[in-house]
Chains A and B, each alone.
Chain A
């Protein structure tokens, strides 16, 4: 994570920047697809974690926080709000040692997964993207 590549900078034209911005949006759409898969997987794990759901709550908190920041940066305000709701709910659940059936967590989790599904349906499938794009 966070690899840095130093190379000579040159001015980026407006056209190039629009192209970069579009590619980043496409990459973010791909990220959201993978986030949805992760949250579905975590919900399945939470459903099974009758004894000690604390670790799952922590994972949900971390992942929701991260998604909240990225969604806000990419101007997905509603998604950021939904991720924020899950972050708060799972953080509170972890702190209060709530059961794996904690209703606030499940409500926020389902709402977030639903929203990710809607976004995925409304997003055209991204073409194959070269991985070097993120090497900045």
Chain B
């Protein structure tokens, strides 16, 4: 005997999906009455509907705005349903398109050919409306799951290269992208500069004002540094507790020094407001400028550059070079 609670659960689930998941369906059929009938049924089930009279028209609509489901007839003038399926499967769409073939062709060979062309489902015209809608709900559910996974993967990729506290790039990003900057510098014979920074007395900030205040100082450093950089080319990565690297492509030693000065002025303008009071802070900045001919290559190039930047940072701390103050 059927369990009524299961039916109730399915109804609630279906209702929930209907209400919450936006799903755009493209109906492709050369018969305008068939299109209108299907569109009417799907709109009542809360699908957003577009219509096309041929495969070619369908592709134009999809290229203008993505659809989650394509419900297509088989026999149509110009590009038919099978050709449309094949095209959609070979094209590099940003997200998966669930394809349902809705046709009167009912032989086993037809079904196999439809599925082989890339259709996800094969429905005969004349199938009860409830069944067609149930199959469309399957498509809605699958495309929703696929979109959720895609969003989640995108977020994971972003988090993998982002420092969660400050929102700046992290060491992984630096190790992946600095070699690219070095090779670009060599190839196009452009200068490259690197600022190696750390916050002066950061341990004392943490000890005196607490770690929460320390976190605010790190966030303020990133926000103020970012405001000094070119948005399209410069970038900043947090590579340790209070250590940061700023990469300035196509920048000479003069340009890099003036960015470092500007950054230190920004830090000096106002203290950071924390729960334990105002915290004034400053950062040391080591400037490393590379001319294209002196950019190292090979697997140890990044390490070599970072060591050099570190040496310049400590020389700066000792007041030996740069004259930033």
Residue of A nearest to B40 (CB): A20
Answer yes or no: A96 CB below 8 A from chain B CBs: no
- Does A106 make an interface contact (CB < 8 A)? no
Residues of A within 8 A of B43 (CB): 9, 12, 17
- CB–CB A134/B36 < 8 A: yes
Per-residue CB proximity of B52-67 to A under 8 Å, as 1/0?
Answer: 1110010001000000
Given the contacts A20-B40, A134-B36, A80 and B52 also touching, CB distance less than 8 Å: no
* Alpha-carbon gap, A73 to B39, bound state (A): 12
Size band of the B side of the interface?
Answer: 20 to 34
Residues of the A chain whose Cβ atoms lie less than 8 Å from the Cβ of B39: 136
Q: Is A31 an interface residue, CB under 8 A from the partner? A: yes
Dominant secondary structure of chain A at its interface with chain B = helix
- Whether B33 and A27, one on each chain, are in contact in the complex, defined by CB atoms closer than 8 angstroms, is yes
Q: Are A9 and B48 in contact (CB under 8 A)?
A: yes
Contact at A70–B30, with CB atoms within 8 Å? no
| Count of interface residues, chain A, beta-carbon cutoff 8 Å | 32
**Contact partner of A65 among B40, B104, B124, CB < 8 A?**
B104
Residues of chain A at the chain B interface (Cβ within 8 Å): 1-4, 6, 9, 11-12, 14, 17, 20-21, 24, 27-28, 31, 65-66, 68-75, 77, 80, 84, 133-134, 136
Chain B residues with a Cβ under 8 A of chain A: 29-40, 43-44, 46, 48-54, 57, 61, 73, 75, 77, 103-104, 124-126
28 A–B pairs (Cβ distance < 8 Å), ordered by A? A1-B53, A1-B77, A2-B35, A2-B54, A2-B57, A4-B50, A9-B49, A12-B40, A12-B44, A14-B44, A24-B33, A24-B37, A24-B40, A27-B36, A28-B37, A69-B31, A69-B103, A69-B125, A70-B31, A72-B126, A73-B34, A73-B38, A74-B33, A77-B126, A80-B104, A84-B104, A134-B33, A136-B51
